[in-house]
Amino acid sequence: MPTAALFDVDGTLLDTNYWHTVAWTQALAQYGHHPAMARIHGAIGMGGDQLLDHLLGEDRDRDQDEALSAAHQALFARFWPALRAFDGAGDLLRALKGRGWTVVLASSASARDLAVMRRALDADDAIDAATSADDVEASKPAPDLVRAALAKAGVGPDRAVFVGDTPWDVQAAARAEVPCVAVLSGGTGERALRAAGALEVHADVAELLTGLDDSVLADPARRTHGSR
């Protein structure tokens, strides 16, 4: 049976979390909202719908939501030329593909942003499928994205591992009953990722690649999940 490695993109494979933080900071300021950048960074990993609830409260006037999200999209697009993959990102995907994993990008980015990020990642030869905002109704920490990635891979949760960088990734995976391997490259500390339920925590994808033989991602035939 095929086994799937499901990857978050922002902050996990690409160094984008702080660009998103700046874009959201500027978009919110345009509409009179000034949460601390640290709070905004802590919400990165959620989709726009959940992020605005988290930062502005669920009882807010939602008439601005569409405009806020559009402003974020436009502001983030200014950073497209600066987007880069983390060292080892493409090599990790290729190594997993070579070991027999089905590799799926599990992103809730717009189709436009996802296309730009895939060009920056430059690893389409190792990617079997990808999700985008069009595939989900509710974004992380809801499990919809992980379930959509499972459907793209054609496997159940017992045949997959999710790799992400935020507590929202870990929580979404847990709600979909998929174990999560976490990396620190998005700016969230190990304690927070462990508290959310991360099975393993690595500095970044390059470290995960170097220690792949000791990871749950070593062999898709593994049935037991160790921890690191």
**Residue 47 confidence (pLDDT):** 85
**Residue 48 confidence (pLDDT):** 84
**Residue 1 confidence (pLDDT):** 62
**Residue 138 confidence (pLDDT):** 85
**Residue 222 confidence (pLDDT):** 62
Mind listing the domains of the chain with CATH numbers?
3-16+83-214 (3.40.50.1000), 17-81 (1.10.150)
**Residue 225 confidence (pLDDT):** 43
Neighbours of 106 (CB within 10 A): 35
Residue 98's Cβ-count burial label (10 Å; 0-12, 13-18, 19+) is exposed
Q: What is the 3-state secondary structure (H, E, C) of the chain?
A: CCEEEEECCECCCECCHHHHHHHHHHHHHHCCCCCCHHHHHHHECECHHHHHHHHHCCCCCHHHHHHHHHHHHHHHHCCHHHCCECCCHHHHHHHHHHCCEEEEECCCCCHHHHHHHHHHHCCHHHCCEECCHHHCCCCCCCCHHHHHHHHHHCCCHHHEEEEECCHHHHHHHHHCCCCEEEECCCCCCHHHHHHHCCCEEECCHHHHHHCHHHCCCCCCCCCCCCCC
- What is the residue-level pLDDT of the chain in tens, covering all 228 positions? 669 999 999 999 999 999 999 999 999 999 999 999 999 999 999 988 889 999 999 888 889 999 999 999 999 999 999 999 999 999 999 999 999 999 999 998 889 999 999 999 999 999 999 999 889 888 899 999 999 999 999 999 999 999 999 999 999 999 999 999 999 999 999 999 999 999 999 999 999 999 999 999 998 876 434 444
